[in-house]
């Protein structure tokens, strides 16, 4: 069962259809909570930054049917990692792939075993 379903069927002029699409486009561009006029009422929708779309065109029986569908989850979604975090990962990969300086190992394996043991012993 759906949480909510609204469906409206009516005849429109080309200009009225364009006005509806323009209002929908403005709501999509604005994002956040957007209000759309639907008949005599207003519908308030939370529109996220990312959504899925489907466009379907059917031609047959002397008619053309054009459906434009947008979908998004009702619950907030996770955001992508910030550029700073992504940049840190790239820098870390570069450090790993960079050639080691002469006389030094990039993994720290040149330390002697006795130095490692003395560093872990407690007095």
Per-residue pLDDT tens over the stretch 44-63: 889 999 999 999 999 999 99
Give domain status of residue 103, yes or no: no
Distance, CA of 67 to CA of 81 (rounded, Å): 34
- In a domain? residue 96: no
Structure-token match 């080309």, residue found: 14
The model's pLDDT over 2-40, given as tens digits with 9 standing for 90+, comes to 788 888 888 999 999 998 899 889 989 988 888 888 778
Place of tokens 């910030």: 82
Q: HSE, CB side, 13 Å, CA atoms: give it for residue 3.
A: 2
Domain that holds residue 60: 14-71
How far apart are alpha carbons 71 and 2 in whole angstroms?
14
Total domain count, the chain: 1
Residue 88 has a CB neighbour count (10 Å cut-off) of 12
Q: pLDDT by residue (tens digit) across 68-116? A: 999 999 887 665 555 544 444 444 444 444 444 454 444 444 444 444 4
Residue 85 lies in a domain: no
What is the reported pLDDT for 23? Answer: 87
Phi/psi of residue 68, each to 5°? -120, 120
Between CA 105 and CA 32 the distance in angstroms is 52
């Amino acid at each position: 069962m759906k949480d909510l379903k609204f469906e409206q069927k009516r005849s429109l002029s080309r200009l009225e259809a364009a006005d509806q699409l323009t209002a929908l486009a403005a709501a999509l561009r604005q994002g956040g909570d957007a209000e759309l006029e639907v008949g005599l009422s207003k519908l308030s929708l939370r529109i996220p930054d990312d959504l899925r779309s489907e466009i379907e065109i059917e031609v047959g029986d002397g008619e053309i049917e054009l459906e434009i569908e947008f979908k998004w989850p009702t619950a907030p979604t996770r955001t992508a990692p910030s550029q700073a975090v992504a940049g840190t990962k790239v820098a870390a990969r570069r450090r790993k792939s960079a050639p080691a300086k002469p006389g030094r190992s990039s993994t720290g394996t040149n330390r002697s075993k006795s130095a490692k043991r003395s560093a872990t012993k407690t007095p």
